[in-house]
């Protein structure tokens, strides 16, 4: 009881303090967004305080809050919803009840949550996936990969690859009446990273390379090499996802060693021998001029930390894949947001994919922020979230 009272007192005090934090002038429904941002900031700061006094890790507090929005597999008159497992990994299937004269498209969805939070069972994703079934007649597969820090790199990624390979088997596609030429893989935030990596991996696999027609990346995280891009600088204390949160949870995906987090905060985490990778993320040449503004490019300091050679792996940073690894990727749809620390990851990936001949459709929402797709549920319905949802599904309808 004393613990709960302490948490409530802390959160109330922080809530009042945070409510006066200004938000960008171009944001729609500013009071709703202000309240959302205050709730996230309050939870973040409360978690940090609880962590410092040894009561709870901050990610645990966020995780418990997120679980309040998880849904049960409830079917309705149009959709059969099933929780099952593929290769031992939990998944949620959304299957159309309406008969179809032709085989169906399919959408594989890998959820976001900064590697440590969330589930494909989240209420917002449930809404999106039911609409996909009703509007597209699609089979939708949500992947519930294991989460960091309990399961660190590469386990969550390998879960995503394993589920995708299982689903793409001819016998499984036949079982669910899926057209093997009309399959999309998609994801938001950290799920966008996994989507990009899975697509890169399967591109060169003889058994699966022709079974992904399209990939969708929604405000994706795509690299851990340079954590001082203009979007990180401009949105350091931005809406919903701050730089500190992004860096901390990305580090927790890799290790519990505080040394990596301390170095990453200063952009001094990359090991010796990594200089050749910076050409793939050099925002001074790859970022559209509009977003370079008056920022001066400074290459990160190397060699302060040499304990994590995995940072050189494209399976941690798909943006550092070389040109040959990006060639012949499928049709790509990318949504980026102006008020997002991860904005530049997506913008640079658009540039790099187009430079090697990949067909890319890019939607940039200047007045949007990270996580907007999640805010289509009570108590906060944001027009921005519904707009993003409809853009995403309408694009799928035209291209699958």
370 among known catalytic residues: yes
**CA of residue 79 relative to chain centroid, distance:** 26
What's the token pair of residue 241?
């996802």
103 three-state secondary structure = coil
340 among known catalytic residues: yes
Instruction: From the candidates 189, 224, 231, 274, give the one annotated as an active-site residue.
Output: 189
Residue 158 and residue 200: Cα distance in Å, rounded? 13
Phi, psi of 35 (to 5 degrees): -65, -40
Q: Are 93 and 170 in contact (CB under 8 A)?
A: no
What's the token pair of residue 245?
């949160």
Instruction: From the candidates 340, 344, 345, 374, give the one annotated as an active-site residue.
Output: 340
Residue 398 and residue 380: Cα distance in Å, rounded? 29
E-strand stretches of the chain? 79-86, 89-96, 104-110, 139-143, 178-188, 214-218, 331-339, 360-369, 376-377, 380-381
Q: Are 92 and 121 in contact (CB under 8 A)?
A: yes
Phi, psi of 273 (to 5 degrees): 90, 10
Q: What residues contact 18, with CB distance under 8 A and at least 6 apart?
A: 37, 38, 41, 42, 45
Residue 301 has what DSSP assignment?
A: P
CA dihedral 27, 31, 33, 34 (to 10 degrees): 110
Strands 376-377 and 380-381: antiparallel
Residue 59 and residue 67: Cα distance in Å, rounded? 12
Query: Which of 75, 111, 341, 68 shows the shortest CA–CA distance to 218?
Result: 111
362 three-state secondary structure = strand
Q: What is the CA radius of gyration of the chain?
A: 21
Q: Which burial class, exposed, middle or buried, applies to 10 when counting CB atoms under 10 A from its CB (0-12, 13-18, 19+)?
A: middle
* C-beta neighbour count of 126 within 10 angstroms: 23
189 among known catalytic residues: yes
Residue 281 and residue 270: Cα distance in Å, rounded? 13
As annotated, the active-site residues are 189, 340, 370
């Amino acid at each position: 009881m004393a613990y709960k009272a302490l948490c409530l007192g802390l959160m109330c005090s922080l809530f009042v303090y945070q409510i006066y934090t200004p938000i960008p002038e171009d944001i729609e429904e500013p009071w709703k967004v202000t309240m959302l941002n205050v709730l996230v900031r309050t939870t973040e700061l409360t978690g940090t305080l609880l962590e410092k006094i040894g009561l709870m890790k901050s990610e645990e507090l966020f995780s418990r809050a997120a679980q309040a929005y998880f849904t049960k597999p409830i079917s309705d008159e149009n959709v059969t919803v099933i929780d099952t497992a593929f290769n031992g990994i939990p998944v949620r299937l959304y299957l159309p009840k309406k008969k179809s004269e032709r085989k169906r498209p399919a959408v594989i969805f890998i959820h976001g949550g900064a590697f440590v939070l969330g589930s494909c069972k989240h209420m917002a994703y449930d809404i999106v996936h039911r609409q996909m079934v009703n509007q597209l007649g699609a089979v939708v597969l949500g992947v519930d990969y294991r989460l960091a820090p309990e399961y660190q790199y590469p386990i969550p990624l390998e879960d995503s690859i394993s589920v995708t390979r299982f689903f793409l088997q001819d016998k499984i596609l036949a079982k669910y009446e899926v057209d093997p030429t009309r399959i999309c893989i998609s994801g938001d935030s950290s799920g966008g990273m996994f989507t990009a990596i899975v697509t890169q991996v399967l591109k060169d696999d003889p058994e699966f390379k022709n079974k992904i027609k399209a990939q969708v990346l929604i405000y994706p995280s795509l690299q851990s090499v340079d954590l001082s891009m203009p979007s990180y600088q401009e949105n350091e204390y931005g809406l919903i996802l701050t730089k500190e949160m992004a860096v901390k949870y990305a580090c927790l995906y890799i290790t519990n060693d505080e040394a990596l987090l301390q170095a990453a905060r200063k952009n001094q985490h990359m090991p010796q021998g990594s200089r050749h990778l910076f050409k793939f993320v050099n925002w001074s040449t790859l970022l559209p001029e509009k977003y370079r503004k008056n920022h001066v490019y400074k290459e990160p300091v190397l060699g302060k930390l040499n304990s994590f050679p995995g940072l050189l792996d494209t399976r941690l940073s798909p943006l550092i894949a070389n040109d040959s690894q990006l060639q012949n990727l499928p049709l790509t749809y990318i949504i980026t947001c102006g008020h997002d620390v991860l904005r530049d990851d997506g913008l640079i990936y658009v540039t790099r994919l187009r430079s090697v001949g990949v067909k890319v459709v890019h939607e940039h929402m200047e007045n949007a922020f990270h996580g907007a797709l999640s805010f289509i549920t009570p108590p906060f319905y944001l027009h921005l979230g519904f707009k993003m949802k409809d853009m995403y599904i309408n694009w799928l309808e035209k291209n699958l």
